[in-house]
Amino acid sequence: MAGLVLTSPSFDEGGAIPIRHTCDGTDTSPALDWQGAPQGTVSFALVLDDPDAGGFIHWVVVDMPGGSSGSLVEGLKGTDPLLQGRNDFGRTGYGGPCPPSGTHHYRFTLWALSARLNLSGNPSAAEVQTALSTRILARTTLTGTYTRQ
């Protein structure tokens, strides 16, 4: 599972997430790029969580087209054609970092899958993680940080 790599043009691994991608800015989802998915990848799933806030879910995206590489453009809306799930803000789509205090870490976890999840509606992260358990070909994580001013 070592080949899959997730990056963002907005921040480096372990680096600060720019304010425009947070609740203090325009709450715009960052662009993401990935490469190195294994042969047989049919789809991808992404979950963004905050482990410093008990795994608070900020974003869920499923059934993205497969292949060896892919990307998400900056600024996806909950109404875009990609299937986006419910976040813990109670909304569909992206909800950026918004820690109550201190520096928090944000994990963008991407899975390469052997099949589509075929979930309906706006699935929760728990529903996604249950559905993907038997389909995982590879997994990678990109972590960013944010501190409110």
**Dist CA 136 CA 25 (whole Å):** 34
**Dist CA 95 CA 106 (whole Å):** 12
Q: What is the CATH number of the domain that holds 138?
A: 3.90.280.10
Q: What are the pLDDT tens digits along the chain (149 aa)?
A: 459 999 999 999 999 999 999 999 999 999 999 999 999 999 999 999 999 999 999 999 999 999 889 999 999 886 677 889 999 999 999 999 999 999 999 999 999 999 999 898 889 999 998 999 889 999 999 999 999 87
Structural domain boundaries enclosing 82: 5-147
For the chain, the domain total comes to 1
Instruction: Give the per-residue pLDDT at 2.
Output: 55
Q: What φ, ψ does residue 127 adopt, rounded to 5°?
A: -65, -40
Instruction: Give the per-residue pLDDT at 82.
Output: 85
Hunting for tokens 């990678």 — which residue is that?
A: 140
CA angle centred on 110, ends 107 and 114, rounded to 5°: 155
